[in-house]
Amino acid sequence: MHVENLSQNRSFGGWHKQYKHQSASLNCEMRFAIFLPPQTARGEKVPVMYWLSGLTCSDENFMQKAGAQRVAAELGIAIVAPDTSPRGDAVADEAERYDLGKGAGFYVNATQEPWSQHYRMYDYVVNELPALVEELFPVTDQRVISGHSMGGHGALTIALKNPNRYRSVSAFSPICNPVNCQWGQDAFRAYLGEDQAAWQQHDASVLMQQATEAQYLPTLVDQGEGDDFLNSQLRPETLQAAAKASTYPLELRRHEGYDHSYYFIASFIESHLRFHAQNLGLLSSI
């Protein structure tokens, strides 16, 4: 597996690095960022938090805006942030839209043309990227996953479908019920076609309601009450109802006045990292 280092920056005793590589899953060149905490310089292998970003974002938004490196360095957790979609001149796009095409991969494997040639973000996040990271960097196969908005949808659905691959999952302002909101319906219709049974396989509320105890993962979700997308696109009440129906271990916290921005993420990212650290066995309590 070959990767090319694009940049590196010292941060809280560790390193933030950005790489590109040719992705077999996505059939294009992809970029990702990784924060390696200072423990890795001492020869230790550390667990990884995979961070999935939202619409219009790339690997850079979280690493530059969330302020997660200080706590990750303290706890000894690496952070890996992939891009949100395939990129390149040959990759299909809807240039006039921000919620479809480049920057809007929705963490599914597209089955419809022209998207199916490149838009296989589910396979990339679940299989290809972790295999690459675990081969090339001083990390263990202990993983947690988190994300924001579209990335919160991705984190929740990927964890719900692959509970044995992760120790815990968290999300900020996730799209909780995409089969019943415009963002999700438009993306799923384009990428997956008209079969709504296929849509439901990537809907956190549907998957959580169907979950059995063997599939449970500790789950933390934060939602701002001042979020402009709260009622029209995010619908956290559907996730809460699903968790109640299946007794799923969901903690959903609502925060008065907070919006959809990285100001919200930066305000609570420390508690998410400590939540994951506890479930990774790095802390005895949050």
CA atoms within 13 A on the CB side of 246: 23
220 forms beta bridges with 170, 251
Fill in the DSSP letter of residue 164: G
Of the candidates 133, 111, 109, 114, the one whose C-alpha atom is nearest the C-alpha of residue 50 is 133
Q: Which of 227, 246, 272, 276 is an active site residue?
A: 227
Known catalytic residue: 227?
yes
Strands 139-148 and 46-52: parallel
3-state class (DSSP) for residue 66: coil
Q: Which of 202, 260, 272, 276 is an active site residue?
A: 260
Q: Which of 11, 23, 146, 149 is an active site residue?
A: 149
How many other β-carbons are positioned within 10 Å of the β-carbon of residue 47?
Answer: 21
Fill in the DSSP letter of residue 43: T
Q: Is 254 exposed, middle or buried (0-12, 13-18, 19+ CB in 10 A)?
A: middle
Edge to edge, what strands does the sheet with 139-148 contain? 4-11, 14-23, 28-36, 78-82, 46-52, 139-148, 169-172, 219-224, 250-255
Known catalytic residue: 85?
no
How many other β-carbons are positioned within 10 Å of the β-carbon of residue 265?
Answer: 27
Known catalytic residue: 99?
no
Q: Cis omega (within 30 of 0) on the bond before 114?
A: yes
Question: Which residues are the active-site residues?
Answer: 149, 227, 260
